[in-house]
Amino acid sequence: MARPAPAEVTDCKKENNRMSQGQSIDKRLLQTFVPVNALSSEHLDRLLDLQEVRSYAPGELIFEAGERDTTTIYLLSGEVALTGSDGECQLVGAGGVESWHPLDHFQPRRSQARAVGDVSVVCFDSSRLDALLAWDQSVNYVMLDINANPAYESDREWMLRLLRSKLFYRVPPGNIFEIFRRLKQRKHKAGDVIIRQGDDADCCFIIKEGMCEVSVQVAGAFESTPVAILETGQWFGEEALLSGAPRNATVSMATDGVLMRLDRPDFDQLLREPLVDQIDVNDAVQRVASGARWLDVRTPDEYEQQHLPGALNMPLSVLRLKSRLLDPSRPYIAYCDTGRRSVSAVFLLRNAGIEVQVVEGGLHGNPALLAHAS
């Protein structure tokens, strides 16, 4: 995603100079931060819901060297002094190139961070941010595949809409393709009752074609009252699977149509993180020395800031386009900040016949590995 023009960035910074603890920031400002700027507009909106703005007085400590706080921190206003263990001090000012990146984005922290003057920062939980990045970029990969593959032509509309549904955010990125494989198709006539209020839940449905009517019968009433119409690409029946409670509504076909069914065992399994071949950092280094190659699946901006020697940069969002550049006869070791995006890469590249393993814990979990980064 392109950054806003410099004048727009300056305006955003000025607006945020006046913020106090607990206030929110402008969406345009998020687009200046790395790797947040790689998120789609929709996921930027989701990230805004996760923000925490903090203010610091002159001289106040932001974090100490050696701390593990699992927080990604961006400078909004003011100036911060980063002091390493060797005593060397780096000043980071809001609006500068260095402020596009998180403050000392390492765990444990390599430096002490202290406010030089009045300072405001925005904080995100690192794990949740990385999960959003993995999901956003994996979905982009799947969307490219759906749009480019003629086999999906008749299914394209409902599949693309399904990828944007809130339920899909619960699905680990590595399981996205598997969901499509496990869906069972069935045709229905207008008036068919698909699920009935009060029944136990054993499956959920996605509308491939047609429309469905949702109705609810309140206590004491003789008939159900229609409350909603569902269209192509929408889920229903998943709430009871998630909660374990009986169905809370009746859903019938409003028109002739086609539904895709996902049974409970598949639903439960696909909501769990898939198992991948993860190796510790020592094994990874040995494999690279023996001919494997590092595969950096972070964004180009993250890669440019720091990467492992000889690493090939292949962000999740362009894996489909660039996977043909990989040598199927050569093993690859994928890495990112936490390992989450690397896990997604394994499943996406598996379809291309590429052997990929993941560095357990990612860069942040292996400080010794970072010592080799350039």
Of 163, 156, 144, 147, nearest in space to 322 by CA: 144
Residues 86-108: tens digit of each pLDDT? 999 999 999 999 999 999 988 88
For residue 372, the model assigns a pLDDT of 66
pLDDT per residue as tens digits for the range 170-204: 788 778 888 888 999 999 999 999 999 999 999 99
Both tokens assigned to 331: 């093993």
pTM above 0.75, yes or no: no
Closest by alpha carbon to 331, among 269, 272, 266, 279?
A: 279
Q: Which of 104, 35, 94 is nearest to 73 (CA)?
A: 104
- Greatest extent of the chain over all pairs of C-alpha atoms, in Å: 78
Q: Which residues contact 277 (CB under 8 A, 6 or more apart)?
A: 346, 357, 358
Could you give all domains of the chain from N- to C-terminal order, each with its CATH number? Answer: 6-125 (2.60.120.10), 185-262 (2.60.120.10), 278-370 (3.40.250.10)
pLDDT tens digits, one per residue of 269-327: 888 776 778 899 999 999 999 999 999 999 999 999 889 999 999 998 888 778 888 99
pLDDT at residue 251 in the model: 98
User: What average pLDDT score do residues 2-26 get?
Assistant: 47
pLDDT of residue 23: 59
Reported as a pLDDT band with limits 50, 70 and 90, residue 16 is very low
Rounded average pLDDT over 47-66 = 95
pLDDT digits over 111-170, tens only? Answer: 999 999 999 999 999 988 988 898 888 888 888 888 888 888 888 888 888 887 777 777
E runs forming strands in the chain: 52-56, 61-63, 71-77, 79-84, 89-93, 111-115, 119-125, 184-188, 193-195, 203-209, 212-216, 225-230, 235-236, 250-253, 257-263, 278-279, 293-296, 312-313, 332-335, 356-359
For residue 374, the model assigns a pLDDT of 64
Name beta bridge partners: 186.
259
